[in-house]
Structure 1
């Protein structure tokens, strides 16, 4: 018996957040490019290019968010929910690329320090903190359990961190003249961004390969099913993600006395949803007959 609870874990709609975030960041990119050109600041021009990549990341996440909400069709019977898992895969790869870019730039600056126009850079970076911080806050609510929203959130937090580092290093350069602090701060920021991006890549790759979502306790679900009255054993227990917020489950319950009735199955479905966050559940009851062997019993739990 199959049950589907089409409830979003979040009641928040992110279309407006994505739109505002993209508009704000595009405006900031134009400002960076303009001031970078006027002040002949290679650092500002490079950061404008980096932020343009983050606008692309937001657009990818928004596209996936929109596709995931489309209704199922005869060709795509689950809809296009998987797009919300593919998006953070792309975004984590973009973030790792940014990390490598920042690290290379930092090493080059350590080897060949260049004077930094600290006042202009500080002002532009301070605006960046406001823009990226405000955008990140719009995605803060659900970044823990929606890996697609997490990708957008990490992009904005990464940019805000870079801007904080630029402001602090600019202030230190202004006060002490120590040019190398810019490169040292950049390396530290690259490490922080890299760790977040790597974790996001692992999480989204696991979901793409039908891994159990991180917020689902498979052992607790197994114990719950085994404790149900009349259940002698279970096998082929599988949990995976249909989307970044919708875990699905299938299981075979061996009940020698037979199927207790539809109310029993309905209760299981509601318990799986309310206690474990399972949005889709498919339960098959087996009576242990010799004519109903499970061909996959060695593969599942």
Structure 2
């Protein structure tokens, strides 16, 4: 609510003071409000239980929210850069003092909100998306304060759009990893926190495993990972080893060591393998 009120006030004063930097910051604040709403909605949907139609529940909504936040932030930033370039060639009067006062309030509002997401953003890219929105706006507000001071001291109005472009570059650099990671997750890429080769090495090293195939690892949500694999059982199992023990031990270690919360392991004999159609070279 506080961010929404500040957004309206900043946009109004940006128009009244003819400050593109303030309007740029207001644009980012708009994306912030949308990001916070999307992150909250995704967290709510992710907690819903699986159903007959959505057998994994709605966990993937957190990935879509993170991807949406990254895309929105990039689009808003692109619009700011476009307008800033136009303003560089067509500068206008800027009320530097108003810029500084409004932006200083923004540092407190956005910085305080960013701190609320600071701890959770390390392990959840959905929360990281919200954090980046708020942190980037806090930095933007700081830059606007600096730009306002420079305009007051020098009278050079081109500083305002130039600072907006500089801010936009910083935002893009900060958002790139979020866009990359969320897109990977949306395309069922192996999460960057999981080393696929280490998982495969572990599976092949299990007593009684002769081979494996159809190893798939993908994110169910921004915090949960799933795995499926076919383990080919050796002709004779080691003493004391059974298929049940092999299955139980493998699943337990996948969960505890690798953080794969939903592993599905199929054990089969060398004479009864059922390869996945994705491994078929004739399948497009």
Same fold (TM over 0.5): yes
- Is 1:69 paired with 2:69? no
Q: Alpha-carbon deviations, 1:173-222, whole Å to 9, x = none?
A: 22222322222221121112112333222211111111101111101101
Aligned residue in 2 for 1:4: none
Does the alignment pair 1:148 with 2:126? yes
Q: Which residue of structure 2 lines up, in the alignment, with residue 20 of structure 1?
A: none
SS of 1:234 mapped into structure 2 = strand
Query: TM-score, normalised on structure 2?
Result: 0.90
* SS of 1:233 mapped into structure 2: strand
Query: Residue 292 and residue 32 in structure 1: after superposition, are their counterparts in 2 closer, same or farther (change >3 A)?
Result: closer
Unpaired stretches in structure 2, ≥5 consecutive residues:
none
The list of structure 1 runs, each at least 4 consecutive aligned residues, that deviate by more than 6 angstroms after superposition, is: none
Match in the other structure for 2:279: 298
Distance between the aligned counterparts of 1:50 and 1:293, measured in 2? 51
Q: Does 1:79 align with 2:60?
A: no
User: 1:107 aligns to what?
Assistant: 85
- Residue in structure 2 matched with residue 17 of structure 1 by the alignment: none
In structure 2, C-alpha distance between the alignment counterparts of 1:213 and 1:50, rounded to whole Å? 28
Residue 267 of structure 1: which of 244, 249, 263 is its match? Answer: 249
Give unpaired runs (5+ residues) of structure 1: 1-22
Once residues 205 and 225 of structure 1 are traced to their aligned partners in structure 2, the CA distance between those partners, rounded to angstroms, is 28
Of 257, 260, 270, which residue of structure 2 is paired with 1:288?
A: 270
Q: How many Å apart are 1:96 and its aligned residue?
A: 0.7
Quickly say closer, same or farther: Cα 1:297–1:67, change in 2 above 3 A: closer
- Report the more deviating stretch, 39-48 or 198-207: 39-48
SS of 2:62's partner is helix
The one of 208, 219, 223 equivalent to 1:241 is: 219
SS in 2 for 1:253: strand
The count of residues paired between Structure 1 and Structure 2 equals 276
Task: Classify 1:121/1:40 alpha carbon distance in 2 versus 1 (closer, same or farther; 3 Å).
Answer: closer
1:240 counterpart SS class: strand
Q: Does 1:159 align with 2:137?
A: yes
Structure 2 equivalent of residue 277 of structure 1: 259
Q: Could you say which residue in structure 2 is the equivalent of 1:171?
A: 149
Establish whether residue 118 from structure 1 lines up as the match of residue 96 from structure 2: yes
Asked whether 1:24 is paired with 2:5, we answer no
- Tell me which moved more, 244-253 or 142-151: 142-151
Deviation of 1:137 (Å): 1.2
Normalising to structure 1: TM-score of the pair? 0.85
Are the aligned partners of 2:81 and 2:168 in contact in 1 as well (CA < 8 Å)?
A: yes
